[in-house]
């Protein structure tokens, strides 16, 4: 019997399509996650309290939709598969809803609040419909776990370039267009159309290499998998508890604008984080050969804590911030990358324990995790701005103008990229103490899965590629 780890299933076109589609999707989520808070408070002039409330309510509502979408995906049966039908029809709505986020209507403040709530919540629901099946593809495109780690690592590197690109695009467009208002709108148009266009490759260039179950799992059965799926529970807990690890990126525009005095410097400080993060992602397959997932999490947490505390000691200057965020980016890139491999592994853990797969629901918990993290990150920054008495910009004509900040406010902003991330790294390591799907157990699981799949194929007398369905 051929060893599953010896066979390669993915074509170059499969890998390139998934990577470029994710690049486009991450262009969109990158501009929203990194800039929507700054846009709503400093450009749209919604206010910190109203923005923080919107972010938390919308993201939690959106996160609750993920398991429902995952169940719908697992019940889907078409000639295109379970995931790909949704990837055919969502790119255009995703592009248009992204553009709508950055339009500032010339109406009353109350009307602007309503517009922001409607467009942001609608965007989040559309994003859910495309995100859950997209990440479900990672576990059904190949049954080879080693090929999956390499494939996801390469793809995540490309995706992360897309996610970081808005940190370059927006400051440049703001300079070119002469104002935040015009720069953000142009960025929304370019990123929405380009991101949506590239995302069409998630349908055109991918394949689902799994035979379909005759009976789709019920919602109750799908949700019960979370109880069985111990690896998934600990990955979710580690990331939600560690949400403050990413505060330097979420708050970077405030650091550049108010501590360093020039929003364009955001390119430099985020660029350092991004380059280091890409390096971490690129080296993840090599690191995974030396250490197991739990060890990697521990080492990343230690690195992240020390880098954050070093910045606190060195103080508020461009060189220290750039250098230390460069150091922080590496463990963040590694930890982010292995999350996707660990969650893909958790699909196989459930199959090993139950004989059934539920990629849609399992991956929906991944997107739920990401959205909860984003809600907590944005909510934390908004809350901190209120606590540290941030003076909001004022409108002069049609332009929003930043106001001077007190030393108390600036010191509070500095905590958002030093002490709070260090706490986040420490908290993220705690659930990993209980993550045991590593070493001999993981090897045994893949061996027995191979045997189970071979037996199913023999009994069914079919030529389907064995992917456990």
Q: What is the pLDDT of residue 219?
A: 57
Task: Calculate mean pLDDT across residues 112-120.
Answer: 94
Q: What is the pLDDT of residues 399-419, one digit of tens each?
A: 778 889 999 999 999 999 999
Give the whole-angstrom CA distance, residue 262 versus residue 393.
15
User: Best-predicted range by mean pLDDT among 252-266, 405-419, 440-454?
Assistant: 405-419
Q: Is the pLDDT of residue 469 over 50?
A: no
Name the nearest CA neighbour of 373 among 41, 29, 88, 101. 29
Q: What is the pTM of this model?
A: 0.77
Straight-line distance from the first to the last Cα atom of the chain, in angstroms, rounded to the nearest whole number: 19
Q: What is the pLDDT of residues 9-18, one digit of tens each?
A: 788 888 889 9
Q: Is the pLDDT of residue 222 over 70?
A: no
Q: Which two tokens stand for residue 273?
A: 């984080």
Question: What is the DSSP secondary structure assignment for residue 211, as one 8-state letter?
Answer: P
Give the whole-angstrom CA distance, residue 136 versus residue 463.
23
Q: Phi first, then psi: give them for residue 395, nearest 5 degrees.
A: -90, 125
Place of tokens 């923080």: 52
Q: What is the pLDDT of residue 359?
A: 67
Name the nearest CA neighbour of 303 among 324, 281, 287. 324
Q: What is the pLDDT of residue 360?
A: 64
Q: Is the pLDDT of residue 214 over 50?
A: no
Q: How confident is the model at residue 6 (pLDDT cuts 50, 70, 90)?
A: low
Q: Give DSSP secondary structure letters for 274-293.
A: HHHHHHHHHHHHHHHHHS-H
Domains of the chain as residue ranges with CATH: 12-207+227-459 (1.20.1250.20)
Give the whole-angstrom CA distance, residue 266 versus residue 158.
21
User: Best-predicted range by mean pLDDT among 45-49, 213-217, 355-359, 369-373?
Assistant: 45-49
Mean pLDDT of the chain: 85
Give the whole-angstrom CA distance, residue 12 versus residue 369.
30
Greater confidence, 55 or 214?
55
Name the nearest CA neighbour of 176 among 264, 306, 50, 44. 264
Q: Phi first, then psi: give them for residue 435, nearest 5 degrees.
A: -85, 110
Q: What is the pLDDT of residue 56?
A: 80
CB atoms within 10 A of CB 279: 16
Q: What is the pLDDT of residue 218?
A: 57
Q: What is the pLDDT of residues 341-380, one digit of tens each?
A: 888 888 888 888 887 776 667 766 777 788 788 888 988 9
Q: What is the pLDDT of residue 212?
A: 46
Provide the β-strand partners of residue 400: 395
């Amino acid at each position: 019997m051929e060893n599953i780890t010896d066979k390669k299933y993915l074509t170059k076109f499969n890998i390139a399509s998934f990577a470029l589609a994710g690049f486009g999707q991450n262009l969109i989520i990158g501009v929203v996650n990194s800039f929507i808070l700054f846009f709503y408070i400093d450009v749209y002039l919604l206010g910190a309290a109203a923005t923080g409330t919107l972010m938390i309510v919308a993201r939690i509502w959106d996160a609750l939709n993920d398991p429902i979408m995952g169940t719908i995906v697992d019940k889907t049966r078409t000639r295109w598969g379970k995931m790909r039908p949704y990837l055919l029809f969502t790119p255009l709505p995703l592009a248009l809803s992204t553009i709508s986020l950055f339009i500032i209507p010339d109406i009353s403040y109350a009307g602007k609040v309503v517009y922001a709530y409607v467009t942001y919540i609608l965007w989040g629901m559309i994003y859910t419909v495309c995100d859950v099946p997209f990440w479900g593809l990672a576990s059904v495109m190949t049954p080879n776990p080693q090929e999956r780690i390499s494939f996801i690592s390469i793809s995540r590197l490309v995706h992360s370039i897309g996610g970081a690109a808005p940190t370059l695009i927006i400051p440049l467009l703001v300079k070119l267009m002469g104002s935040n208002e015009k720069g953000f709108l142009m960025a929304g148009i370019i990123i929405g159309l380009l991101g949506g266009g590239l995302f069409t490759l998630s349908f055109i260039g991918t394949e689902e290499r799994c035979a379909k179950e005759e009976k789709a799992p019920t919602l109750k059965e799908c949700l019960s998998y979370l109880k069985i799926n111990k690896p998934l529970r600990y990955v979710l807990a580690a990331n939600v508890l560690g949400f403050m690890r990413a505060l330097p990126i979420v708050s970077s525009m405030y650091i550049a604008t108010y501590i360093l005095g020039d929003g364009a410097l955001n390119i430099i400080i985020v660029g350092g984080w991004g380059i280091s993060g890409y390096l971490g992602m690129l080296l993840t397959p090599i690191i995974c050969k030396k250490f197991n997932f739990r060890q990697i999490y521990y080492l990343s947490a230690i690195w992240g804590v020390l880098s954050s505390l070093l910045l606190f000691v060195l103080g508020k200057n461009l060189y220290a911030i750039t250098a230390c965020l460069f150091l922080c980016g590496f463990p963040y890139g590694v930890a982010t990358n292995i999350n996707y491999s660990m969650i893909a592994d958790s699909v196989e853990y459930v199959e090993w324990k139950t004989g059934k797969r539920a990629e849609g629901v399992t991956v929906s918990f991944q997107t739920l995790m990401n959205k909860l993290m984003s809600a907590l990150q944005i909510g934390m920054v908004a809350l901190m701005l209120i606590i540290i008495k941030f003076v909001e910009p004022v409108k002069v004509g049609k332009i929003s103008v930043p106001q001077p900040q007190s030393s108390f406010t600036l010191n509070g902003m500095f905590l958002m990229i030093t002490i709070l991330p260090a706490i986040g790294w420490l908290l993220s390591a705690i659930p990993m103490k209980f993550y045991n799907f590593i070493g001999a157990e993981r090897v045994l699981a893949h061996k027995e899965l191979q045997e189970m799949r071979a037996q199913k194929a023999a009994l069914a007398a079919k030529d389907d590629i064995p992917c456990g369905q």
